[in-house]
């Protein structure tokens, strides 16, 4: 004779377990949020692209500075990069300057000139942009630009000592002989002109390229 109580007990135990499972609310599926890790927003990228285009155009407008030195000419292509450096930081300014120098080098098939321009624009943009980022005042901007003029002049001399003999075949002694009478005054004058243009242009366009909520008193 079979005992029917054991299956009934198992059914009685399984029923509450099923009820508990039905009463337990379903866990919501996890949702993932991805943070925006872009360093520059769309407004900044558009402004940087515009400044880069302006820099390339200015690189074709060349003027002699020193009498009798026709192979050294001034252009204001570093000014837009410095404006971006003031507005968005040293990385943005350096990016604009490097891209503009590379584009000019490609268009003119002058890669040694592009390398020289990259060295000079790095020396011109980084010191002033770093100083201005720490203290966004007119005085800090002027101090930073003075440092930038000196740094850009040193980078230009260094580039001439390294690049000119290696790629252009000019003897090193001839380059050294040009440092004091030609290279130093030319690059100091070029840097000073770019610094003055940067102050004038940045003061004029700062309200356009930088939202008012991000502006700092004393700019």
pLDDT at 210: 66
Average pLDDT, the chain: 84
pLDDT at 26: 56
Q: What whole-number percentage of the chain has pLDDT above 70?
A: 77
- Domains of the chain by residue range: 40-205
Rounded mean pLDDT, 198-210: 85
**Range with the poorest average pLDDT among 160-164, 174-178, 190-194, 211-215:** 211-215
The yes-or-no verdict on residue 189 having pLDDT over 90 is yes
The yes-or-no verdict on residue 217 having pLDDT over 50 is no
The yes-or-no verdict on residue 214 having pLDDT over 60 is no
pLDDT at 42: 86
> Do 194 and 146 contact (CB within 8 A), yes or no?
no
In the chain, the N- to C-terminal Cα span, in Å, equals: 100
pLDDT band for position 149 (cuts 50, 70, 90): very high
pLDDT band for position 169 (cuts 50, 70, 90): confident
Residue 136 has which token pair?
Answer: 């966004």
* pTM of the entire predicted model: 0.77
Rounded mean pLDDT, 100-106: 95
Q: Is 119 exposed, middle or buried (0-12, 13-18, 19+ CB in 10 A)?
A: buried
Q: Is 176 exposed, middle or buried (0-12, 13-18, 19+ CB in 10 A)?
A: middle
CATH topology for the 40-205 domain? Arp2/3 complex 21 kDa subunit ARPC3 (1.10.1760)
pLDDT at 1: 47
> What pLDDT, in 10s, does the model give residues 14-30?
445 445 555 555 565 55
Question: Where is mean pLDDT largest: 10-19, 110-119, 149-158, 199-208?
Answer: 149-158
């Amino acid at each position: 004779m079979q005992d029917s109580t054991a299956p009934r007990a198992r059914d009685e135990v399984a029923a509450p377990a099923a009820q508990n499972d039905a009463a337990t609310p379903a866990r919501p599926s996890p949702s993932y949020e991805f943070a925006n890790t872009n360093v520059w927003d769309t407004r900044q990228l558009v402004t940087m692209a515009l400044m880069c285009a302006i820099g390339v155009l200015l690189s074709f407008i060349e003027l002699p500075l020193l009498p009798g030195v026709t192979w050294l000419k001034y252009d204001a292509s570093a000014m837009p990069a410095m404006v971006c450096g003031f507005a968005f930081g040293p990385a943005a300014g350096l990016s604009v300057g490097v891209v503009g120098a590379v584009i000019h080098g490609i268009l003119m098939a002058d890669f040694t000139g592009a390398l020289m321009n990259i060295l000079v624009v790095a020396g011109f943009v980084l010191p002033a942009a770093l100083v201005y980022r720490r203290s966004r005042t007119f005085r800090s901007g002027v101090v930073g630009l003075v440092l930038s003029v000196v740094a850009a002049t040193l980078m230009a001399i260094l580039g001439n000592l390294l690049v000119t003999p290696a790629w252009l075949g000019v003897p090193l002694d001839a380059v050294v002989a040009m440092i004091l009478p030609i290279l130093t005054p030319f690059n100091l004058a070029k840097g000073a002109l770019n610094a003055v243009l940067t102050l004038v242009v940045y003061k004029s366009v700062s309200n356009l390229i930088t939202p008012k909520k991000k502006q700092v008193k004393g700019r």
